[in-house]
Structure 1
């Protein structure tokens, strides 16, 4: 019997942390202290969230389509909402909330209105 393997968000974070640490150069003093500005993720793939945020950042990812699906494979999802706003300084106490839909789906109308 073959078992299906599902890579969860924790494994994706670990892979992203390894890729990000090897791709980046020296950190600035603010980055070493854990303070970085919030990037703009709207309309981008969820995988970019995992690769661009610090691995210690608390992250809450949820499906905003209304179907309450579990987000198990980040490359299949696209960002519709993000909190805090772009440019907000992130520190270790900040929880980043990301609302996503499956790639190919459109963001719900109430979410599109809030993005403007």
Structure 2
């Protein structure tokens, strides 16, 4: 029982360190106008979206495979679409929309990982 508590505490500390780092990066990227560029998430794991965006950013994640599955465990999914496009200015009113498929699955023909 003691070992589980130590491992659990280590995992919590690791996640907290990632959250602090991503918040610091977001603060540094802000140019004073209240906007910052949207990172390029295409082809990357969904977990990166959660670690790179500020926690206050509105986020809409959905399965684009056509199966309408719930996206529950982020490490199992990869990003195939994103709106707004990478480099676009992101302010507090913008909702970032991310389309994902499970890792190992191919992207549906109607959805392309086009970089705009």
Q: Shared fold by TM > 0.5?
A: yes
The residue aligned with 1:115 is 114
5+ residue gaps, structure 1: 1-14
User: By how many angstroms is 1:22 displaced?
Assistant: 4.0
The residue aligned with 2:36 is 36
The residue aligned with 2:46 is 46
Q: How has the CA–CA distance of structure 1 residues 29 and 88 changed in structure 2, closer, same or farther, with 3 Å as cutoff? A: closer
What SS is found at the alignment partner of 1:106? coil
The residue aligned with 1:66 is 66
> CA-to-partner distance for each residue in 1:17-67, whole Å, 9 max, x for gaps?
752314646934836764210111000000000000111000000000000
5+ residue gaps, structure 2: 1-13
TM-score by length of 1: 0.75
Matched, 1:21 2:20: yes
Q: Distance in 1 between matches of 2:81 and 2:71?
A: 15
Contact 1:16 1:51 in 2 (8 A): no
Q: How has the CA–CA distance of structure 1 residues 97 and 17 changed in structure 2, closer, same or farther, with 3 Å as cutoff? A: farther
The residue aligned with 2:78 is 78
The two structures, once aligned, show a CA RMSD in angstroms of 2.6
Contact 1:46 1:79 in 2 (8 A): yes
Q: How has the CA–CA distance of structure 1 residues 17 and 98 changed in structure 2, closer, same or farther, with 3 Å as cutoff? A: farther
Q: Which runs of 4+ in 1 moved over 6 A?
A: none
Aligned pairs, how many? 101
Higher CA-based Rg: 2
